[in-house]
Amino acid sequence: MTVLLLLLILAAIAAAGFVLGRRRALARAGGNPKLLHSLPAYYGWHAALMSLLPAVLLMILWVIAQPIIVQRAVTDTLPAAMTADPTALELTMADVRRLAAGLDAAVAGGQMTENEASMLRTEFTDVRDKLARVGVALGSAVTHDVLSAAQEYREITAQFALWRMIVVIAVAVLGLIYALAVTKPDLWARNRVERVMLGLLMLASTIAILTTVGIIWSLFSESVNFFRQYPFTEFFFGLTWSPNFRGGSQLGFLPLLWGTLYITLISMVVAVPLGLFAAIYLAEYASKRVRAWVKPLIEVIAGIPTVVFGLFALITVGPFLRDYFAQPLGLGNSGSSVMTAGIVIGILNIPFISSLSDDIINSVPQSLRDGSFGIGATKSETVKQVILPAALPGIMGAVLMAASRAIGETMIVTMGAGAAAKLSLNPFEAMTTMTVKIVGQLTGDTDFAAPETLVAFALGITLFVITLGLNVFALWIVRTYREQYE
């Protein structure tokens, strides 16, 4: 709350900085903007940024550092026995924080005055009972030490919050004063502002990259934990998947890999021809009016949530395939099957392939079409022998990206193909994929130290490597075989 208030104050200072900076620049130039190095607004932005940036940076650092410092200070007040080993300390501090939050809630709710909260004594009051009435549940009875630590905690936090506000606002004002002091007609305000903008842009891309790195790191470290407990070879070469939380699990990943690849294969068999033919029709044959209608209609598919596709697989496609194909052919009587999930994922991927391929085909230069028509080729000959070969690298890229989507699809598989890990060639049998098992192993009450749970991370990183490999391969194909049109 106070952080939010502080941010509002900073915004107000920055806004004032903008107005003052702009006005001061104009005043220094005698009201003639032509004498200024930059446009007047840049001086405004300069002042606003100079007051805002250092203050915000300081505030962020403070918000990060404060809990650490407060914790250290509070730890010192606790008896040494409670802080001896790190686990006990962590538990105690959790109690302290929860109690402090409880007191905060009680004060905010009006059940206690600030004074009462800080004078509370376990000797005279049943704190647990009192807080329970305010809606704050505490795990165990509150000891004297914890209560006083919590009170200490609240006090220090309050002090820090006050200081934070004073220091941050002071920095903002100092920044503003500095900016106004240096505002002169020959100050290169535009260059300074643009440098800050550049920094923002770089920050944005850095955050995206760092997130990826963080994801890989968390997957990797948990996978390492898993492989400490479960043999590497049995995971990668095991033919049985039967996790059992009571121990003795067999966590062979091959059945899951097979299910993943089988479903992906079927989905690509559905999506590639349909998507590609749709793209060729739209790009080469359809009139403008047809195109204006058909293209958005196809793209509607892309907007349908996958869970809705899952419903479609579960109640329409699955039973249909079972009743009209699987049972008559004697291939089983399962409503969920690889075929169901594959077909539905394939349909999901049609707009993806058709839309990308359509763009790629459209980017083949008209001159190639003219050249082909000019020596008497028909439209279909032109498409087959000139347009498609020219567009092929791009289309391959689209297909491989669609394949990574199919590999990563979870919802449709759960609802369409079931959750039984199996190694089978029969497309009408229920099978499952890596993504489904990742979800399966992590939902419910789980023990994050057991290999049955940690296997999800090993599956995750394997999946990541597979899709990353596919994407790199797609990019490589696109780069290598791309035709440079002039």
Partner 1 sequence: MNDMRITERTVQTNQAKITARDVQVYYGDTHAIKDVSVDILDKAVTAFIGPSGCGKSTFLRCLNRMNDTIPICRVEGKILLDGEDIRDVRVDPVQLRAKVGMVFQKPNPFPKSIYDNVAYGPRIHGLVRNKAELDEVVESSLKKAALWNEVKDRLAAPGTGLSGGQQQRLCIARAVATSPEVLLMDEPCSALDPIATAQVEELIDELRANFSVVIVTHSMQQAARVSQKTAFFHLGNLVEYGDTTTIFTNPVDPRTESYISGRIG
Matching residue, tokens 């590609």 = 276
How many whole angstroms separate alpha carbon 379 and alpha carbon 381?
5
- Helix ranges (DSSP H) in 306-378: 306-312, 318-321, 327-329, 338-362, 366-374
Nearer to partner 1, 390 or 430 (CB): 390
Cβ of residue 272: shortest distance to partner 1, in angstroms? Answer: 21
Nearer to partner 1, 144 or 482 (CB): 482
**Dihedral pair phi/psi, residue 72, rounded to 5°:** -60, -40
359: amino acid identity, one letter: D
Nearer to partner 1, 113 or 378 (CB): 378
Nearer to partner 1, 90 or 370 (CB): 370
Paired tokens of 308: 């809705």
Compute how many other C-beta atoms are within 10 angstroms of the C-beta atom of residue 287: 7
Say whether 450 sits in a helix, a strand or coil.
coil
Cβ of residue 367: shortest distance to partner 1, in angstroms? Answer: 4
Task: Find out whether 17 and 189 touch, Cβ atoms under 8 Å.
Answer: no
Nearer to partner 1, 3 or 377 (CB): 377
- Helix ranges (DSSP H) in 252-337: 254-280, 288-303, 306-312, 318-321, 327-329
**What is the bridge-based pairing of β-strands 241-242 and 250-251?**
antiparallel
The span from the first CA to the last CA of the chain, in angstroms, equals 58
Nearer to partner 1, 39 or 386 (CB): 386
Nearer to partner 1, 134 or 386 (CB): 386
CA 377, 379, 384, 389 dihedral sign is positive
Nearest to 27 by CA among 183, 177, 174, 179: 183
Cβ of residue 368: shortest distance to partner 1, in angstroms? Answer: 6
Cβ of residue 357: shortest distance to partner 1, in angstroms? Answer: 16
How many whole angstroms separate alpha carbon 307 and alpha carbon 100?
42
DSSP 126: -
Which residues are at the interface with partner 1 (CB under 8 A)? 287-288, 365, 367-378, 381, 385-386, 389-390, 483-484, 486
Cβ of residue 284: shortest distance to partner 1, in angstroms? Answer: 11
How many whole angstroms separate alpha carbon 439 and alpha carbon 386?
46
Cβ of residue 388: shortest distance to partner 1, in angstroms? Answer: 11
Cβ of residue 394: shortest distance to partner 1, in angstroms? Answer: 12
- Cβ neighbours of residue 115 closer than 8 Å, sequence gap 6 or more: none
Cβ of residue 375: shortest distance to partner 1, in angstroms? Answer: 4
Task: Find out whether 262 and 427 touch, Cβ atoms under 8 Å.
Answer: yes
Matching residue, tokens 């763009």 = 359
Task: Find out whether 330 and 421 touch, Cβ atoms under 8 Å.
Answer: no
Nearer to partner 1, 249 or 362 (CB): 362
Compute how many other C-beta atoms are within 10 angstroms of the C-beta atom of residue 405: 19
Cβ of residue 280: shortest distance to partner 1, in angstroms? Answer: 17
DSSP 375: T
Nearer to partner 1, 218 or 378 (CB): 378
Cβ of residue 207: shortest distance to partner 1, in angstroms? Answer: 39
Nearer to partner 1, 126 or 483 (CB): 483
Task: Find out whether 183 and 44 touch, Cβ atoms under 8 Å.
Answer: no
- Chain centre to alpha carbon of residue 133: 39
Nearer to partner 1, 115 or 287 (CB): 287
Cβ of residue 377: shortest distance to partner 1, in angstroms? Answer: 5
